[in-house]
Structures are given as structure tokens and as C-alpha cells.
Amino acid sequence: MLNFFKSNNLGIAFTNVVLIFLYRVLFFFHPIDLSRIYRHAEPASKFFISLFHINSDTNPAWLLIGGGILCLIESLMVNRIINSYRVTTRKNYLGGVLFVIFTSMVPECMVLSPALVAALILLMCIDKIFELAKPEKLSGHIFDLGLLSGVAMLFYFPSVYFLIFAVIGFFMMRSVTFRERLMVFTGFVCVLLVVFTVYFWFDSLPEMVLDMVNLQYRLPLSSASLSHWQFISLCWIGVLALWLVAFMPGIVFSSVIQARKYISLLAIGAVLSLLAIPLAFNFNLSHLVFLLASLSILYTVYFVETKTKLVTEILFIVLILSVFILQYLPLFVSI
């Protein structure tokens, strides 16, 4: 089964559509609790929420459909990153499938949300960082990294960590001049200047910082209550992450130098996404989409490069089934 998904068959991308639909069917009849996902004051988020008229009366089905479409786009971007930069030794479309599977483990990551939009920008940043490994002069990409980091922050404030991720990334990918170091920060500052100008124009400067960091909806992280099933989902994701920690080092050391850099950077991004949790003043599990994006690419490397075929076959089937178990079991078992 896994060999089919590891093959260079573009038709596998159709599997993404099937899984996106199957993993969302349940929530058309048993809606997700969205009470905290759309409490955002960030400028781009406010525009995004008002543009799509998202409020307590919004039909969750439309948010699921929008989330599914965005998830499909992001899964295709994951495939592009893996195949364009030879993250694995074989061209494949497994990464997109894994992205759909991992994000479906957390229902909050399945609907259209500011964090999911920011995840699209994260994948764009990863794409541009990996391209910096090429010898060509790519000053525009360095500027774009700062610009994209600033735009992501306007959707979801904790994604400000993208700037640190981008700086680490281009230092890992190539040697840079002082001018190039400044360019990434210039792109970020340009976004801040545009926001400053808009708030100044509408005489709303006192609210600018409050909006950008989402202080209006601030809740202590300790008050973020999780259901037992949400906690079980987090534990399962933790187990999967620890599995990589245990078995990836051997694959990394046997990889070419460029692949090692890619894998190391993705691991750093996963850690940074967790460190950014305290910046989520209105924390909900949609924040995990950043971690899950990194895991999907790292697990693609693991599945393609590992020699233990039987173990990977079983693990892949378990991953697919675990999403259904986490979704349907709470309907029959209350904890």
C-alpha cells in the first residue's frame, strides 16, 4: 500500500481530495466547537473574518469546505517542496497525503481559520528558504521572507516566529552578506510601515499594537481547557513526534548534506512553533497546524528513506485509521 503512495504518480494527488472529504464528513453532522478560533483582532484576520462574514451564526459547513480547499492547496505545496528540492531521494506525492492526515488529527485545523492561512504562508517561506540553497543571486527571495513573515503576523500573531525561522533558514542555506541580512528585516519592516500608515490614516494608532498582538481577546494560557479526547489527540501527535526523534537521526546521517540541512531546518521550525505557543493570547489547537506541516514533510522523508518496510507499512495504515478513530470513537465512548 505504502509503495503506491511513494511512487511518482501524480494521480496520488486525487487521494488528497478523497481523504479531505472523508475526514470532514462527520463534522458536517457533528459541528466543531469554533467559539475560540475566530477571536482575533489582528488587522488581516479582522478583514478576513468580516470578508467571509464569519460569526456565531455562520454555517460550519462553509468553514469546513473552505478549510478543505485550503488544505488541498497546502498539500500540493508540500508535494512541490519535497520534489522541487529533492528532500527525498525519490520523487513522490506522499507528503501531500501525510499533510492531510496529520492536519485532520486536530479538528480545529480542518476549518478555514487565520492559523490555516498563516500555514500557507509558512509553506511559501519554506519554499523560498530551500531555493536559497541554489547558487544564483536571490536577493528578492530574502526580502520576500521578511515580507511574508510580516503578512503572516497580520493574520495570526504567533506566526511572528516565521521571521526567526527565516533568518535561521537563510544562514543555514548559504553564506550571506551584511546587505542581505538587512533585507529580510527590511521586508518585515515594510509590512509594519503599511499597517502604521493605515492606522494613522484612520486615527487609530492607540489600537494598533493591541490589535496586532490580539490583546483584546487575551486569555491566560492556563485557562485553555482541553477535552479528554483533545488531550488524547495531543498525546498521539506527541508519540509520533517522538518516533521521529528516535528513528530519524540514522536517516539524517546517511543523507546528502543538502538534505540534512532541509531536515534540520524543518525540525527547528517544529520546535519554534511550539515555543511560539505563549504568544497565542487566545490559544486553541489550530496553532498546531505549523507543527503538523513540518511533521508531514519529515515523515515523508522517514517513509521514503527507511529500510524497515514492514514497520512503515503498518505505521502508515495506523496513521490513516487513527484519524477515523479520534473522530468517531468520542461518539460512542465518553470520558
Q: Higher confidence at residue 87 or residue 255?
A: 87
pLDDT of 284 > 80? The answer is yes
| Confidence check: pLDDT of 130 > 90 | yes
Please choose, from the candidates 6, 1, 4, the residue with its C-alpha nearest in 3D space to the C-alpha of residue 299: 6
For the segment 201-214, the average pLDDT, to the nearest whole number, is 89
Overall average pLDDT of the 41-45 stretch:
91
Q: Which residue has the higher pLDDT, 170 or 148?
A: 148
How far apart (Å, rounded) are the C-alpha atoms in residues 104 and 149? 25
Q: What is the pTM of this model?
A: 0.94
- Please write down the HEC assignment for all residues of 274-324: HHCHHHCCCCCHHHHHHHHHHHHHHHHHHHHHCCCHHHHHHHHHHHHHHHH
Q: For position 222, what pLDDT does the model report?
A: 67
Q: What is the pLDDT of residue 314?
A: 94
| Average pLDDT of the residues in 62-81 | 95
Instruction: Work out the pLDDT band at 12, boundaries 50, 70, 90.
Output: confident
Window from 41-50, 131-140, 205-214 with minimum mean pLDDT: 131-140
- DSSP secondary-structure letter at 207? H
Judge whether residue 116 has pLDDT over 80: yes
The mean pLDDT of 269-286, rounded to a whole number, is 92
Higher pLDDT, 326 or 3: 326
